[in-house]
């Protein structure tokens, strides 16, 4: 159409100038183009329990298709509270201390926006999930990166203590950890509790892999510890637990005063979450076996994958939790992590993710991450290709 006025798109100053196409998008697209086995991005390639689908279908047919309460369907919040009490011996009030969210990523940014302001600092432990730092920046706060110990990925409490200051508003903790697959111990959580006790620092505890802790170990939720629970937003994910990452349903548990502020932000950035899925999840959670059986389910896949790599030149790092396996590539290649992942996808036909992508400074320690949340035949196909290394 012709116009007598100049037509132009105004220049927009980016709030996130450093953010571009993620490594996950790059590697998944390359894997798709080349027909490679995609062990890069963290999602299952198998279906969920048909009973869960039936529960959601029943909810839709029962007429649960309009807006639910802003904080979530009461039956689902009660089911979450019951699960947390059974596992972690802490009762959260479903009315005022649990909120259903549009996935864990929304839960995390909502928590950050609720607590962090311009001039505040929020500590993140590198390497970390890629949403943390942009969330902090969108809140106008400053991210303070504290590295985990290279290769072992253990928390360095001396460095964390040194990073704490008068401007520290919160720390984001993730266990089991993405990308390293390590899990914090009881002693780690007690040390964090001791460190924060004299402060007003809040904790955003990302526990989306809470049901994937292996070798008979217990998940050390912040809910287990009085001093941490009193200052924590505890985040989890139905998508991770029930193999439905595309549903984007998660939840947050926190003391009532913290949850009141969380809900103020939640109301205006999401308002509420898919109604029939909430009712379906509530019905499905009446049977605790699906989440209680999950550690054994994923440990078997972990062991299958580790056994298949045992004879290769890739050095296996511990996989204590989550559905990831990290390997040291030093004996295989002189390439950087990123270059190795591109080479691996093109030449071997398996996609992985460089750990350097999870560091603010791109720190390269010759480690890459595989995802084993795949069908056995997918894992065997990948292992057959990786056996060439």
pLDDT tier, 134 (very low <50, low <70, confident <90, very high otherwise): very high
What's the confidence (pLDDT) of residue 41? 85
271-294 per-position pLDDT tens digit? 999 999 999 999 999 999 999 999
What's the confidence (pLDDT) of residue 6? 83
What's the confidence (pLDDT) of residue 22? 81
Residue 3 has pLDDT above 70, yes or no: no
CATH number given to 23-48+292-386: 3.90.1150.10
Residue 56 has pLDDT above 70, yes or no: yes
Return residue ranges of the chain for CATH 3.40.640.10: 50-288
Tell me what percent of the residues of the chain surpass a pLDDT of 90.
Answer: 93
- The CB density around residue 311, as the number of other CB atoms within 10 Å, is 10
35-44 per-position pLDDT tens digit? 999 999 889 9
Torsion over CA of 282, 288, 292 and 293, rounded to 10 degrees?
A: -100
Whether residue 26 has a cis bond before it, omega within 30° of 0: no
For the packed helices 256-269 and 103-115, what is the interaxial angle rounded to 10 degrees? 110
What's the confidence (pLDDT) of residue 311? 86
225-263 per-position pLDDT tens digit? 999 999 999 999 999 999 999 999 999 999 999 999 999
End-to-end CA distance of the chain: 59
187-215 per-position pLDDT tens digit? 999 999 999 999 999 999 999 999 999 99
Distance CA 244, CA 42 (A): 12
What's the confidence (pLDDT) of residue 242? 98
Reference 52, options 277, 292, 235; nearest CA is 277
Two structure tokens written together for 176: 């089991």
Q: Which helix (H) or strand (E) holds 328?
A: strand 324-328
Residue 2 has pLDDT above 80, yes or no: no
Q: Mean pLDDT of all residues in the chain?
A: 96
What's the confidence (pLDDT) of residue 148? 98
Return residue ranges of the chain for CATH 3.90.1150.10: 23-48+292-386
By the 8 A CB rule, do 242 and 290 touch? yes
CATH number given to 50-288: 3.40.640.10
């Amino acid at each position: 159409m012709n116009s007598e006025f100049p037509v132009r798109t105004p220049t927009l100053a980016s709030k996130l100038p450093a953010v571009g196409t993620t490594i996950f998008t790059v590697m998944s697209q390359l894997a798709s183009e080349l027909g490679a086995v995609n062990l890069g991005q963290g999602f299952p390639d198998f279906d969920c329990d048909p009973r869960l689908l039936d529960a959601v279908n029943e909810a839709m047919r029962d007429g649960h298709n309009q807006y639910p309460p802003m904080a979530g369907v009461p039956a689902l919040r009660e089911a979450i509270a019951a699960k947390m009490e059974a596992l972690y011996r802490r009762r959260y009030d479903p009315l005022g201390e649990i909120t259903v969210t549009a996935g864990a990523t929304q839960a995390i940014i909502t928590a950050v926006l609720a607590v962090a302001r311009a001039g505040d600092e929020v500590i993140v432990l590198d390497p970390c999930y890629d949403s943390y730092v942009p969330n902090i920046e969108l809140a106008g706060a400053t991210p303070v990166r504290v590295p985990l110990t290279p290769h072992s990925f253990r928390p360095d409490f001396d460095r964390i203590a040194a990073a704490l200051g008068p401007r520290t508003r919160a720390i984001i903790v993730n266990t089991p950890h993405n990308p390293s697959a390590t899990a914090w111990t009881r002693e780690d959580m007690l040390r964090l509790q001791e460190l924060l006790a004299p402060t007003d620092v809040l904790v955003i505890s990302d526990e989306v892999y809470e049901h994937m802790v292996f070798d008979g170990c217990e998940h050390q939720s912040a809910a287990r510890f009085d001093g941490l629970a009193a200052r924590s937003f505890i985040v989890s994910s139905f998508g991770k637990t029930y193999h439905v990452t595309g549903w984007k349903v998660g939840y947050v548990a926190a003391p009532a005063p913290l949850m009141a502020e969380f809900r103020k932000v939640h109301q205006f950035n999401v308002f509420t979450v898919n109604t029939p899925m909430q009712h379906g999840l509530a019905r499905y959670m009446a049977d605790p076996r699906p989440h209680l059986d999950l550690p054994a389910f994923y440990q078997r896949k972990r062991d299958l994958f580790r056994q298949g790599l045992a004879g290769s030149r890739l050095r296996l790092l511990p996989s204590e939790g989550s559905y990831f396996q990290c390997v040291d590539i030093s004996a295989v290649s002189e390439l950087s992590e990123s270059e190795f992942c591109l080479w691996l996808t093109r030449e071997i036909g398996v996609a992985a993710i460089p750990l350097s992508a999870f560091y603010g400074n791109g720190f390269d320690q010759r480690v890459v991450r595989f995802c084993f949340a795949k069908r056995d035949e997918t894992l065997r196909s990948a292992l057959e290709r990786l056996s060439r290394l």
